Amino acid sequence: MSKLDVFFGKALAIHSLNNSSHLGDRSQYIGASDIASCPRKVVNSRLHPLPHDTKTLMRFARGHITEDLLAQVFEAGGATFLRQVEACHPIEPIRCHIDFVFFSTRNGRLHLVEVKSVDGIPYEPYSQWIDQLHVQLGLFQENNPDSQTGGSILAVDLNAGTWKEFNGFSPNETLYRFLLEKKGKHILSALREECEPDTEPGLLCGYCAYRPGCPAHVGSQPIPQEILTSADAYERLNWQKNILETGMEVLRNEILAFTGTDKSFRGQEGEISIATTVCPDTTMVDSKKLKSDYPDIYKTCSKAKKGSTKLEVKRILPSDAAEDEKAAA
């Protein structure tokens, strides 16, 4: 590790603490994002904190950069708003910090906006985002009972330069109370070590530092509804891709039957252009033979290659499941 890497890691940690200083002492309360998260992760992060790696710290920094950029844009457009508005529960040590609260000078309505910095805009807001916003709306409404309040989630992909607002949310007393009772008070009890925290598998399990030993990831694991929806769509698209590739191969052979494969071709008719490039034969090294016959040379000429993760999503029909059970028996 270079000196710059060491410096960068330490500086990012300090930068992250500075950016979150307005949140106060997080050990004294839980926030809306905590209630929307997996209780086991929240409790472990408080009772057994682990240092964040640089990738996580960079994601935190990106979130703050996104908020600052949006604030500048909103100011340039003449919007009236406040940032990081705190709303506290009247009894429990529960509070939230709302990214943006907008004021309508026309009708007096207030609008809460939760900003999410993402890599790719999802089709629908994640349930964790929705739960967090509903806790914010509920806490804000408790502190401002006479206000007309709405809310939205603004997902921003800085790399792609795209954004999407998921709008139309309003305070939901039933959902708010459910989240407070089912998760908020449960997390507080677990933090007092009165009970074991529940597990709640979700989108961020792959990033969780406390995944080892988690009961939700032992043996055949349950799949959260959001991931199940994504996997179902992935399988359908993959099936369509295979059909399309088969059809394209037939069409490709028809075109090459006309252009030939012995020499390059270029032609155009109307808006359609066809071009082929004939590549000469090449020679490749038989790595297995080289490793077997010349191990020293193989070792000298080898270099590390980053691994990858293979994803397989397939649809198990009822008849297939029955056959699997028979085979297992």
- Which among 94, 176, 99 has a CA at the least distance from the CA of 134? 176
Decide if 251 is inside a domain: no
The C-alpha atoms of residue 262 and residue 278 are separated, in whole angstroms, by 7
Find the CATH number of the domain harbouring 125.
3.90.320.10
pLDDT per residue over 64-116, tens digit each?
A: 999 999 999 999 999 999 999 999 999 999 999 999 999 887 777 899 999 99
Decide if 282 is inside a domain: no
The pLDDT value given to residue 319: 53
- Name the 3-class secondary structure at 157: strand
The pLDDT value given to residue 321: 47
- Name the 3-class secondary structure at 89: coil
Range of the domain at 83: 30-214+223-227
Decide if 59 is inside a domain: yes
Instruction: Mention every residue, 6+ apart, whose C-beta is less than 8 A from residue 301.
Output: none
Number of Cβ atoms within 10 Å of the Cβ of 46: 15
Residues lower than pLDDT 50 in the chain:
321-322, 328-329
The pLDDT value given to residue 193: 93
Structural domains counted in the chain: 1
The pLDDT value given to residue 164: 95
Decide if 292 is inside a domain: no
C-alpha 204 chain-centroid distance: 6
C-alpha 289 chain-centroid distance: 43
Start-to-end CA span in the chain (Å)? 52
- Which among 85, 52, 62, 15 has a CA at the least distance from the CA of 209? 52
The C-alpha atoms of residue 134 and residue 128 are separated, in whole angstroms, by 10
State the DSSP H helix or E strand holding residue 74, giving kind and residue range, or none if neither: helix 54-76
Decide if 278 is inside a domain: no
Question: pTM of whole model > 0.85?
Answer: no
Residues linked to residue 101 through DSSP beta bridges, in sequence order:
82, 112
Distances (CA, A) of 31 to 37, 157, 228: 10, 24, 28
Decide if 302 is inside a domain: no
